[in-house]
Chain A
Amino acid sequence: MTTTGRSFVGESVLRVEDEALLRGQGRFMDDIDPVPHARHAAIVRSPYAHARIGEIDASAALELPGVLGILTGEDVLALSKPFPAGVETSVPYYALANGVARYAGEPVAVVVADSRYIAEDAAELVMVDYDPLDPEEIVVHERSLAYGAVDEAFESADLIVRGSYEFPRWTGSPVECFGVIADWRGDGLTAWANFQGPFTLHSVAAAALGLRGSKLRLITPPDSGGSFGIKSSVFVYVVLMGLASRKLGIPVRWTEDRLEHLSASAHATGRRTEVEAAFASDGELLGLRYDMVEDVGAYIRAPEPATLYRMHGSLAGAYKVRNIGWDARVTLTNRCPSGLNRGFGGPQLYYALERTIDRAAKQLGIDAAELRRRNLVTEFPYEAPSGGLYESGDFAGGLAEALELVGYDERRAEQAAGRKIGIGIACIVEPSVSNMGYIMLAQTAEERAAGLPKSGNVEGCTIVISPLGGITVQLATTPQGQGHRTVAAQIVADKLGVNPDDVEVLSAMDTSTSAWSIASGAYSSRFSGAGAGAVAAAADKLAVKIAAIREHVGEEISLRRVAGMCHWSPESLPEGMEPGLAAIAFFGTPNLQPPDDDDRISSSASHGFIADVAVVEVDTETGGVHVLDYVTVHDAGCLLNPLIVEGQVRGGFAHGAAAALFERIIYDEDGALLTGTFLDYLCPTAPDLPDPRIAHRESPAPDLPLGAKGLGEGNTMSAPAAIANAVADAVGLDELDVPLTSPRVWEALQR
């Protein structure tokens, strides 16, 4: 039935999003004005990391002309419930601090005024009586799991390699910060927010507000100025501004500024990992033991402690070792609560694992590339010991291609000739499309048995064809710049035999009118696996109907004619056929089961592969790291749009290189945030970042409808390890931790 005779999926179709963005015509949170006379909020935030909150005196603030009112912890306690989270905790989390502030920057009160200027003036006049407390650290979650025969593996080892690795807190730094417009009317809340998907967090917000789902209408504007995971935490402010609107009886809008963002949006968890790796003398990796301590900040905020479990199915990465011990603790600290950030658990895991492999190579006297080659998974599909299903791939081929591209042997020869360069490798599997059940691993099998087994990753899509044949696709995937509209148009064009230009794709999302599910949103690189699947499923439904009508008519009538029949003359349709021409479809990603009784889970629907090689030169005078070359070979299955793929890979790499060389959130011992502006939080810009060389191999995902795996996060996971390995190789030191800023490298060289 294809009338264009072309397949657009797989082509570098130009992004439909870009013209508006480049012309400044994007519609971001601050561009929309959906409710007349929304007033402006400013938030009073705790200057202390830990303090008892006494009296809040707002009298001077309320006297300022233009101030409409204030919301405090007492109001929030009366009007809302604590946010539910994945593990029990004695520290309830509300949208405002209640009685005790637990991190510097925590919201303590909201002032609403005629303008943001007045609101900020008033916020300064709110007198809060703080009684500082000592910082505290509370273990809120602890699990110990083992797969295979771990002790035996270590007993039989010729060499046990140990290392301790600190992956610091960091963040995503979207250009656009959080934004919310809240309009409480009657018994429900309508909120506009640059949220990155309703996901499970719509339910969390509704629970806190005491609303049934349909009474919390969440609308996402068409464009988002980036998120990288961070904006999943906007839901807290949806609740906060919703309560302010409810109390004051007026619509309220709030735009987060950069100071607020860096101190109180969300950080990626900081993690310390102790690794032990058991090797045979021939380099076979026999066993792994991890001991992880994860800092989630002041509260355990949904979906945490998910960072800890996101990678659980692939704890051994790309390696075929079968014996893995895993101990982990999650601690509350007096720091900003953690949340999603690109890579989500992957950078933390692979940093520890891949640095260990390099360390082992040196101790074994085996080349670091060769040691990896000997241990890579070779048979597919492969079921990892902790449950991950690596459905397809050629890991050894990917590594060989990366080594070839970078000129590995030549670089090693340069090194041998005395040039002070370093070579670092990272081989990782890149998970995509999270299994909604992996967080259940935070419970024991017995605890899980009591509740609804959770798994899967469902996405929805709506396609409507108008009486004149116009095609409109309504996504529920809330893109943040990834180009979902472009790719959806390619998919629908192929299915319906039209051009992508003929397909309008709406990215603005409305939980009351869009077809969405518990997994909807943009995270865990899920569009190519889940979102695209839903688009294809909806288009397939229409294609079947259109084909049936054409068959009934007996000729290849135009789509416009088909649409006309469906809308104008339903009696001309095949008998019993529903009139109209629209489809809602849901797609559930395959291969996702709940955790089994042995705590095994395929934590993601799909697993791609990445082999990276970094070549660096260190200026030993300044400690400056110069990345001479960076090669990354991806195998993410079929590429839906190579142009968009390149953007995604470059973005993921920038994020990872930033973690390797620049970014770290620093608190002092008292919990004061020392990196509260971009002066001290070293978010790099384009001139600071190396230019990666990218190559692709395509092992199709056999169980996904378009054969495409996710690929937006992989280099964020691999680059910190690859670059750190290269620097360690260049200077001959293992005791280095990211970020490798020039002073830190120089200090290490002096030890």
Chain B
Amino acid sequence: MKPPPFRYERPETLDEAVALFAEHGDEAKILAGGQSLIPLLNFRLLRPSVLVDVNRIESLALRDGDTVGATVRQRAFVGHPLVDLALPYVGHYVTRNRGTVGGSVAHADASAELPLCLVALGGTIETSHGRRIAVEDFFVAHFTTTLQPDELLVSTTWPQAESVGFSEHALRHGDFALAACACAVTVENGAFASARVAVGAVVDRPSLLDLEIVGAPATAETAREAGARAATLVDPPGNLHASSAYLRHLTSVVVTRALEASL
């Protein structure tokens, strides 16, 4: 469990980092918190020839209200109502000390909580190319985003939401979710006026589901119906521990519970 040889670069500024990526492109990988990258290196599943350590770039570590710099540590990302619900499920206490918000989003693990919340909130991703990407246009598939090989995630923006809910089921505390749901809704006159309900882990990227609940009464009954509908909208493959049928059923459970929690 030792990584194969690689070159290590530690730029002090974003411009230097961008230049390194312009030079090395696909051959380079960003080292931020390292909580996913380092195990992949040690397992020799990834073999980048260059590691670009962005931890010394001060501008990436800043937070400005809802806009969060790429290397802000996960443990420091507190105060957002939905993220506060989800953060305890993000890895473990010690991995959150080191893991970064931007790293999690850019890594695009389909079962990760922060990308899921960003989708539920309709957030944006700001890049070194000066692009501002709506989250709906960012995640492509498991571990795949619309970032270019020489483009760095610089920050993410997390809109506020009126009512939020989060539910996850995993095999162990801190494990990757088997199914997770994050939602942001508004309720007017006892009915859902808007609803962004996103699921993770049972899809190949965190995904909004159209559960047809806008206008429906904001009740537990509607939440249950929405859960049942969610289960028909996903087709998760089974894994070693959980069958496809179980994961589909679990989708209905987490959607129901997240919506109930938002009421």
Is B249 positioned at the interface, with any CB of A under 8 Å from its CB?
yes
Whose C-beta in chain A lies nearest to the C-beta of B242?
A743
Q: Which of B120-128, B156-164, B165-173 contacts A (4 or more CB under 8 A)?
A: B165-173
B172/A684 in contact, CB under 8 A: yes
A120/B2 in contact, CB under 8 A: yes
Is A698 positioned at the interface, with any CB of B under 8 Å from its CB?
no
A688/B241 in contact, CB under 8 A: no
Q: How far is the CA of A188 from the CA of B71 in the complex (A)?
A: 55
Given A121-B4, A621-B253: A747 and B173 interface contact (C-beta under 8 Å): no
A622/B169 in contact, CB under 8 A: yes
User: Could you say which residues of chain A place their CB within 8 Å of the CB of B241?
Assistant: 680, 682, 741, 743
B1/A257 in contact, CB under 8 A: yes
Q: How far is the CA of A750 from the CA of B242 in the complex (A)?
A: 14
A685/B173 in contact, CB under 8 A: yes
**Residue in contact with B1 in the complex, picked from A259, A622, A688, A743, CB distance below 8 Å:** A259
Whose C-beta in chain B lies nearest to the C-beta of A120?
B2
Given A624-B169, A682-B171, A684-B172: A747 and B1 interface contact (C-beta under 8 Å): no
User: Could you say which residues of chain B place their CB within 8 Å of the CB of A680?
Assistant: 240-241
Is B5 positioned at the interface, with any CB of A under 8 Å from its CB?
yes
Is A742 positioned at the interface, with any CB of B under 8 Å from its CB?
yes
Interface residues of A in 532-570 (CB under 8 A from B): none
User: Could you say which residues of chain A place their CB within 8 Å of the CB of B43?
Assistant: 259, 677
Is A326 positioned at the interface, with any CB of B under 8 Å from its CB?
no
Rounded to whole Å, the gap between the CB of A518 and the closest CB of chain B is: 36
Rounded to whole Å, the gap between the CB of B258 and the closest CB of chain A is: 13
Q: How far is the CA of A685 from the CA of B94 in the complex (A)?
A: 13
Is A258 positioned at the interface, with any CB of B under 8 Å from its CB?
yes
User: Could you say which residues of chain B place their CB within 8 Å of the CB of A679?
Assistant: 176
B246/A743 in contact, CB under 8 A: yes
Q: What mask results when residues 477 to 517 of chain A are scored 1 for a CB within 8 Å of chain B, else 0?
A: 00000000000000000000000000000000000000000
A674/B240 in contact, CB under 8 A: yes
Given A622-B250, A746-B246: A116 and B173 interface contact (C-beta under 8 Å): no
Q: How far is the CA of A117 from the CA of B3 in the complex (A)?
A: 7
A666/B174 in contact, CB under 8 A: no
Is A687 positioned at the interface, with any CB of B under 8 Å from its CB?
yes
Q: How far is the CA of A677 from the CA of B42 in the complex (A)?
A: 12
Is B219 positioned at the interface, with any CB of A under 8 Å from its CB?
no
B174/A116 in contact, CB under 8 A: no
A666/B240 in contact, CB under 8 A: yes
Q: How far is the CA of A259 from the CA of B249 in the complex (A)?
A: 33
Q: What mask results when residues 250 to 294 of chain A are scored 1 for a CB within 8 Å of chain B, else 0?
A: 000000011100000000000000000000000000000000000
Is A675 positioned at the interface, with any CB of B under 8 Å from its CB?
yes
Whose C-beta in chain A lies nearest to the C-beta of B169?
A622
Given A116-B2, A621-B253: A675 and B171 interface contact (C-beta under 8 Å): no
B249/A746 in contact, CB under 8 A: yes
Is A408 positioned at the interface, with any CB of B under 8 Å from its CB?
no
Interface residues of B in 73-92 (CB under 8 A from A): 92
Whose C-beta in chain B lies nearest to the C-beta of A623?
B246
Q: What mask results when residues 411 to 454 of chain A are scored 1 for a CB within 8 Å of chain B, else 0?
A: 00000000000000000000000000000000000000000000
User: Could you say which residues of chain B place their CB within 8 Å of the CB of A622?
Assistant: 169, 250, 253
Whose C-beta in chain A lies nearest to the C-beta of B227?
A621
Rounded to whole Å, the gap between the CB of B187 and the closest CB of chain A is: 24
Is A28 positioned at the interface, with any CB of B under 8 Å from its CB?
no
Is A130 positioned at the interface, with any CB of B under 8 Å from its CB?
no
B2/A688 in contact, CB under 8 A: no
Q: How far is the CA of A409 from the CA of B242 in the complex (A)?
A: 36
Given A117-B2, A622-B253, A680-B240: A742 and B172 interface contact (C-beta under 8 Å): no
**Which of A120, A624, A684 is packed against the most chain B CB atoms within 10 Å?**
A120
Rounded to whole Å, the gap between the CB of B95 and the closest CB of chain A is: 12
Rounded to whole Å, the gap between the CB of B158 and the closest CB of chain A is: 27
Is A382 positioned at the interface, with any CB of B under 8 Å from its CB?
no
Is A147 positioned at the interface, with any CB of B under 8 Å from its CB?
no
Q: What mask results when residues 21 to 54 of chain B are scored 1 for a CB within 8 Å of chain A, else 0?
A: 0000000000000000000000110000000000
B169/A688 in contact, CB under 8 A: no
Whose C-beta in chain A lies nearest to the C-beta of B256?
A621
Whose C-beta in chain A lies nearest to the C-beta of B170?
A742
User: Could you say which residues of chain A place their CB within 8 Å of the CB of B2?
Assistant: 116-117, 120
B5/A121 in contact, CB under 8 A: yes
Q: How far is the CA of A688 from the CA of B245 in the complex (A)?
A: 25
A741/B253 in contact, CB under 8 A: no
Whose C-beta in chain B lies nearest to the C-beta of A260?
B1
Rounded to whole Å, the gap between the CB of A44 and the closest CB of chain B is: 14
Given A259-B43, A680-B240, A743-B241: A685 and B172 interface contact (C-beta under 8 Å): yes
Given A258-B1, A674-B240, A741-B241: A688 and B172 interface contact (C-beta under 8 Å): yes
B172/A682 in contact, CB under 8 A: yes
Is B243 positioned at the interface, with any CB of A under 8 Å from its CB?
yes
Rounded to whole Å, the gap between the CB of B142 and the closest CB of chain A is: 15
Interface residues of A in 661-710 (CB under 8 A from B): 662, 666, 674-675, 677, 679-680, 682, 684-685, 687-688
User: Could you say which residues of chain B place their CB within 8 Å of the CB of A117?
Assistant: 2-3, 5
User: Could you say which residues of chain A place their CB within 8 Å of the CB of B4?
Assistant: 120-121, 124
Rounded to whole Å, the gap between the CB of A75 and the closest CB of chain B is: 24
Q: How far is the CA of A687 from the CA of B243 in the complex (A)?
A: 25
User: Could you say which residues of chain A place their CB within 8 Å of the CB of B250?
Assistant: 622
Q: How far is the CA of A121 from the CA of B243 in the complex (A)?
A: 37
User: Could you say which residues of chain A place their CB within 8 Å of the CB of B1?
Assistant: 120, 257-259
Interface residues of B in 1-16 (CB under 8 A from A): 1-5
Rounded to whole Å, the gap between the CB of B223 and the closest CB of chain A is: 13
Q: How far is the CA of A439 from the CA of B174 in the complex (A)?
A: 42
Q: How far is the CA of A682 from the CA of B171 in the complex (A)?
A: 8
Q: How far is the CA of A750 from the CA of B4 in the complex (A)?
A: 47
**Residue in contact with B171 in the complex, picked from A121, A662, A747, A750, CB distance below 8 Å:** A662
Whose C-beta in chain A lies nearest to the C-beta of B172?
A688
User: Could you say which residues of chain A place their CB within 8 Å of the CB of B176?
Assistant: 679
Interface residues of A in 713-751 (CB under 8 A from B): 741-743, 746-747, 750
User: Could you say which residues of chain B place their CB within 8 Å of the CB of A662?
Assistant: 171-172
Rounded to whole Å, the gap between the CB of B163 and the closest CB of chain A is: 23
Rounded to whole Å, the gap between the CB of B193 and the closest CB of chain A is: 28
Q: How far is the CA of A685 from the CA of B95 in the complex (A)?
A: 14
B173/A687 in contact, CB under 8 A: yes
Interface residues of B in 235-257 (CB under 8 A from A): 240-243, 245-246, 249-250, 253
User: Could you say which residues of chain A place their CB within 8 Å of the CB of B242?
Assistant: 743
B253/A688 in contact, CB under 8 A: no
Q: What mask results when residues 214 to 252 of chain A are scored 1 for a CB within 8 Å of chain B, else 0?
A: 000000000000000000000000000000000000000
Q: How far is the CA of A685 from the CA of B2 in the complex (A)?
A: 25
User: Could you say which residues of chain A place their CB within 8 Å of the CB of B243?
Assistant: 743, 747
Given A257-B1, A675-B240, A680-B240: A688 and B173 interface contact (C-beta under 8 Å): yes
Rounded to whole Å, the gap between the CB of B199 and the closest CB of chain A is: 15
Q: How far is the CA of A666 from the CA of B240 in the complex (A)?
A: 9
Rounded to whole Å, the gap between the CB of A383 and the closest CB of chain B is: 44
Q: How far is the CA of A677 from the CA of B171 in the complex (A)?
A: 15
Q: How far is the CA of A259 from the CA of B174 in the complex (A)?
A: 20
Interface residues of A in 92-107 (CB under 8 A from B): none
11 further contact pairs, Cβ within 8 A, besides A258-B1, A688-B172: A117-B3, A117-B5, A120-B1, A121-B4, A124-B4, A259-B43, A623-B246, A666-B240, A674-B240, A677-B43, A680-B240
Some 16 contacts from A to B, beta carbons below 8 A apart, are A116-B2, A117-B5, A120-B1, A121-B4, A124-B44, A257-B1, A621-B253, A623-B246, A662-B172, A666-B240, A684-B172, A743-B171, A743-B246, A746-B246, A747-B246, A750-B245
Across the A-B interface, the 4 shortest Cβ-Cβ residue pairs = A257-B1, A687-B173, A743-B242, A117-B2
